[in-house]
């Protein structure tokens, strides 16, 4: 019989790639969709697989819907990807962020414990939980201290810890993937990689003359979402529940990212990129570079995209859009 997977946050970048990956492995895929007043585009990332998956309106903050879906589906695997995923916006909506990212995760976990206790549970934990902690070798790993610097990171840290607590207290198969930044053509354009690429393409066409950004000196370890959803699945196939860093081990500043993208389009970023304090954060996470040796050794996970091939794919996608 086909395994059943329930994905919260299925309409997002990771949710949609994960659904495609699980379908390719023969899973029956169920997804929770948060109702939005603008239906257009809301499920556009799922367009190609819509007839193959089962979706239901729900929200991780609404326990009754989670329980109802959990009881009906009784999934073998639960992937909790639903979140308010934008770090800067979490400073504007800290309570909503905590409700969704912290209590929402607890709601899904508690519902799994109550109605599908044998299910393997995946929590989308984040490198934002580390804050500005870095090990002496310049990396972050599973054992690095977590001292978050944003409401988003604080809420994610609660979810991370409650997953570990439920694992030990109730013997649940509950695991955390500590994912570093991951991008793709499906990344929303208010995250920095998509924003830079989308606007650099517009500039190259003469449709725009400036790109306003915030902090250009922070550094991120950027991988590709498609590689990272494979890791999510592998984490739940492991013999025991555990926590894994998923990263590339390479880091670049936002400035370098601009330089590379503009160069690929035949432009000099220094002529177009300006800073606007509006995009700065009250507290910034300055540096991320993950050590994913544990995932490589235990799960035999390796990324297939390079930094360059990821950028090229994103540039192609934005270049193909009519303007
Ligand atoms: O693309 P970002 O908004 O991603 P951020 O904040 O690192 O968060 C992403 O990665 C986390 C994993 O560590 C996830 F948990 C989270 O859900 C999300 O996917 O910003 C990246 C960097 C930051 O340092 C930011 O200050 O880019 C800098 N930046 C500079 N100008 C900007 C801008 N970020 C955005 N979004 N917009 C700007 O104009």
**Distance, CA 288 to ligand 1 centroid (Å)?**
11
**Is 181 close to ligand 1, i.e. is its CB under 6 Å away?**
yes
Q: In CATH, what number is assigned to the domain containing residue 258?
A: 3.90.25.10
Do 121 and 99 fall within a single domain? Answer: yes
How far, in Å, is the centroid of ligand 1 from the Cα of 87? 7
4 lines ligand 1 (CB under 6 A): no
Q: Is the CB of 286 under 6 A from ligand 1?
A: no
pTM of the complete model: 0.97
**Is the domain of 271 the same as that of 197?**
yes
Atom of ligand 1 nearest to the CA of 215: 30
- Are 11 and 93 members of one domain? yes
Please give the residue range of the domain that contains residue 209: 192-219+251-287+306-319
**106 sits in which H/E element:** helix 104-115
Which atom of ligand 1 is closest in space to residue 86's alpha carbon? 17
- Which residue among 159, 181, 213, 269 is best mutated to probe the pocket of ligand 1, counting the most ligand atoms within 8 A of its Cβ? 181
- Which pLDDT score is estimated for 41? 73
User: 79 with 199, same domain?
Assistant: no
Q: How far is the CA of 285 from the centre of ligand 1 (A)?
A: 9
Q: How high is the pLDDT of residue 37?
A: 74
Q: Per-residue pLDDT for the chain (323 aa), expressed as one digit of tens each?
A: 999 999 999 999 999 999 999 999 999 999 999 988 777 777 899 999 999 999 999 999 999 999 999 999 999 999 999 999 999 999 999 999 999 999 999 999 999 999 999 999 999 999 999 999 999 999 999 999 999 999 999 999 999 999 999 999 999 999 999 999 999 999 999 999 999 999 999 999 999 999 999 999 999 999 999 999 999 999 999 999 999 999 999 999 999 999 999 999 999 999 999 999 999 999 999 999 999 999 999 999 999 999 999 999 999 999 998 76
- What are the residue numbers of the active site? 126, 128, 152
Look at ligand 1, atom 27, and give the residue with the nearest C-alpha.
192
pLDDT at 219: 98
35 and 103 housed in the same domain? yes
CA 319, CA 243: separation in Å to the nearest integer?
A: 38
How many domains does the structure of the chain reveal? Answer: 2
Q: How many residues in the chain?
A: 323
* Cα–Cα distance, 303 to 70 (Å, whole number): 32
The DSSP code for 241 is -
Atom of ligand 1 nearest to the CA of 83: 17
Residue 44, C-beta contacts closer than 8 angstroms, at least 6 positions apart: none
Provide the CATH number for the domain around residue 125: 3.40.50.720
Q: 94 and 34 share a domain?
A: yes
Clarify whether residues 113 and 243 are in a common domain. yes
Q: If you measure from the C-alpha of residue 158 to the centroid of ligand 1, how many angstroms do you get, rounded to a whole number?
A: 20
Query: Are 162 and 144 spatial neighbours (Cβ–Cβ below 8 Å)?
Result: no
Task: Identify whether residues 130 and 170 lie together within a single domain.
Answer: yes
The count of other CB atoms within 10 Å of the CB of residue 289 is 21
Does 261 lie in the same domain as 175? no
Question: 35 and 10 in one domain?
Answer: yes
Residue 50, pLDDT score: 93
Distance of alpha carbon 200 from alpha carbon 76, whole angstroms:
43
pLDDT at 323: 63
The alpha carbon of 191 and the centre of ligand 1 are apart by a number of angstroms equal to 6
Q: Is 311 helix (H, G, I), strand (E, B) or coil?
A: helix
Ligand 1: does its nearest atom lie under 6 Å from the Cβ of 192?
yes
Annotate 70-89 with b (16+ C-beta within 10 A) or e (fewer): beebebbbbbbbbbbbbbbb
For residues 139 and 84, state if they share a domain.
yes
Beta-bridge mates of residue 175: 122
Model pLDDT, residue 322:
76
Closest-CA residue, ligand 1 atom 4, reads 191
Q: Whose CA is nearest to atom 6 of ligand 1?
A: 87
Own/partner pairs for 88-93, CB < 8 Å, 24+ apart? 88/150, 88/214, 88/279, 88/281, 90/150, 90/151, 90/152, 90/155, 91/150, 91/151, 91/281, 91/282
Rounded CA separation 156/100 (Å): 10
Tokens standing for residue 212:
């306003």
Q: Kindly state whether residues 141 and 207 are assigned to the same domain.
A: no
């Amino acid at each position: 019989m086909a395994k059943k997977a329930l994905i919260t946050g299925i309409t997002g970048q990771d949710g949609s790639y994960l659904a495609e990956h699980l379908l390719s492995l023969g899973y029956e895929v169920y997804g929770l969709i948060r109702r939005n007043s603008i239906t257009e585009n809301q499920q556009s990332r799922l367009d190609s697989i819509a007839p193959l998956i089962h979706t239901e309106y729900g929200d991780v903050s609404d326990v009754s819907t989670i329980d109802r879906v959990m009881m009906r589906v009784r999934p073998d695997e639960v992937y909790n990807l639903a979140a308010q995923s934008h770090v800067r916006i979490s400073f504007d909506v800290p309570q909503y962020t905590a409700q969704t990212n912290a209590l929402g995760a607890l709601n899904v976990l508690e519902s799994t414990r109550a109605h599908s206790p044998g299910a393997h549970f995946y929590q989308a934990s984040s490198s934002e939980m580390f804050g500005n902690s870095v090990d002496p070798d310049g990396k972050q790993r599973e054992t690095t201290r977590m001292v978050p610097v944003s409401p988003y990171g604080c809420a994610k840290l609660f979810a991370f810890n409650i997953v570990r607590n439920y694992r030990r207290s109730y013997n649940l198969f509950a695991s955390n993937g500590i994912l570093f930044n991951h991008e793709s053509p499906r990344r929303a354009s208010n995250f920095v990689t998509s924003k830079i690429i989308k606007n650099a393409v517009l500039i190259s066409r003469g449709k725009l003359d400036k790109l306003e950004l915030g902090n250009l000196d922070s550094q991120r370890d950027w991988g590709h979402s498609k590689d990272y959803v494979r890791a999510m699945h592998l984490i739940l196939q492991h013999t025991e529940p555990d926590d894994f860093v998923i990263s590339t081990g390479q880091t670049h500043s936002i400035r370098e990212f601009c330089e590379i993208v503009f160069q690929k389009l035949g432009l000099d970023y220094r002529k177009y990129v300006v800073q606007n304090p509006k995009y700065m954060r009250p507290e910034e996470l300055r540096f991320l570079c993950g050590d994913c040796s544990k995932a490589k050794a235990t799960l035999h996970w390796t990324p297939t995209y390079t930094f360059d091939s990821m950028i090229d794919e994103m540039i192609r996608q934005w270049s193909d859009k009519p303007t």
